[in-house]
Copies of this chain bind each other. A is one copy, B any other.
């Protein structure tokens, strides 16, 4: 296999991204425009994400279920604001076999309308509330400029949908959802982000408000991989989901929805990747430790493999790959496993064994050190934890270093041109948000939770403004 260099991130981030996805074996384009194939190495990351996120979802009281892929067009058309947001992206089925359908079906772009039409039959009394349902599924939003993971016509996700008796409870659930994602991103994906509310123009079609986590890629653009929406009563009123309250009145339920998609894999790449390729946080890495045994003859092989097996046997809880391929040299192997982002690489040869040592490289720091053979297995779990923590700290430091409070539009534009988040007042009255986007390509990303601004001037029109937003270019 020819060892072709990746382009550097600084040279051409977009080519770097495409090459990493391709060469690390994460995903590929397919004969279906805009649809990707998630290859085993990429899908294993998704499985690890599912295995970590699913118990968090269940801990909230949500139960998994499965709803239809299709939505009758007449049903989605009922919810005007919602369908307007999705109409240009909808895939429509008009024929089955040779028969034309009377009411065409659309492939779900999200499941609010079909789920809620069904929830209607499940909810009658306050005793049926809260209802918390989650679904792991594929959804389709036709994408004209697809990018693997970041923007694909079909993607995988989980979508949580809840119904509540009161507005307060639904608002609380919306926050619980985004905090669950924030925790998951910090603890499992090692990704820091700004958490807060979306501006009106960036709010989910049909929602009262949308909350988000906004992270920062190595090219200093914003990347969002999850949202949690407070839907108010707009769907429950249009679909008619009502319940008998404790006071015997008939009320419409208050709703939320929240989701995270395979886009997170794209996020992992752009947040953690470096010029050598992927860097995967241990908790989701399909391979946490790769062992490269080095030997020249059968005696060496015996000696080295005996030590390798000892290390393997001592670490039943660690995802280990032993790379014994005989058609590749150690250098090419190191290069490949670095590109694939394996957190720890252990190298061991007869000379190491003689000295009672082995060599180990950490992908988070790109450092190699010598370890005592007798101790190394015992140290590996701690090292993996340390890598996990270090990667979050790196992500947090990068986010902080590139998030700038600005007071003038000139300073704002400089931040956006240089890359990063600009934090600024926005009046939210006229078309300032649109104008800024037009002129700088930077949009509002979020108004952070807990921000207590004293009041200032809108970064664009300089009129009085009460609230501050993070702005950035985004994927």
Instruction: Give me the interface of A with B, judged by CB distance under 8 Å.
Output: 28, 30-32, 35-40, 42-44, 46-47, 63-72, 75, 87-98, 105, 107, 114, 117-118, 121, 127, 133, 137-138, 140, 142, 154, 156, 327
Which of B28, B32, B65, B117 lies in contact with A70, CB distance below 8 A?
Answer: B32
B156 pairs with A30, CB closer than 8 A? no
Contact of A93 among B63, B72, B75, B91 (CB under 8 A): B91
Partner of A43, one of B64, B68, B70, B87: B64
Residues of B near A154 (CB, < 8 A) are: 68-70
Report the bound CA distance from A89 to B95 in whole Å.
Answer: 10
Q: How many copies does the complex hold?
A: 2
Q: Interface SS of chain A: helix, strand, loop or mixed?
A: mixed
CA distance A232 to B64 in the complex (A): 39
A107 to B64, CA, bound (A): 24
Q: Are A95 and B97 neighbours in the complex by a CB distance under 8 Å? A: no
Instruction: List, sorted by A's number, 12 A–B pairs whose CB atoms are closer than 8 Å.
Output: A30-B68, A30-B118, A35-B68, A35-B69, A37-B66, A37-B118, A39-B65, A43-B65, A46-B66, A87-B97, A94-B94, A94-B95
Residue contact A66 to B38, C-beta cutoff 8 Å = yes
In the complex, residue of chain B having the shortest beta-carbon distance to the beta carbon of A54:
B47
Q: Which residues of B contact A327 (CB under 8 A)?
A: 127
Question: How far in angstroms is the closest Cβ of chain B from A265?
Answer: 11
Contact A64 B93 (CB under 8 A): no
**Residue pair A96, B30 in contact (C-beta under 8 Å):** no
Residues of B within 8 A of A117 (CB): 30-31
Residue of B nearest to A67 (CB): B37
Q: Which residues of B contact A118 (CB under 8 A)?
A: 28, 30-31, 37
Q: Kindly report which residue of chain B lies nearest to residue A94, judged by CB atoms.
A: B94
Known: A64-B40, A92-B94. A69 touches B121 (CB 8 A): no
Task: A31 to B91: give the CA distance in the assembly, Å.
Answer: 18
* Distance of A13 Cα from B98 Cα, bound (Å): 34
The one of B36, B44, B70 in contact with A64, judged by C-beta atoms closer than 8 angstroms, is B44
Q: Contact at B47–A114, with CB atoms within 8 Å?
A: no
Instruction: Say yes or no: B67 contacts A30, CB within 8 Å.
Output: yes
- CB-defined contacts of A38 to chain B, threshold 8 Å: 65-66
Most buried by B among A44, A90, A98, A105: A105
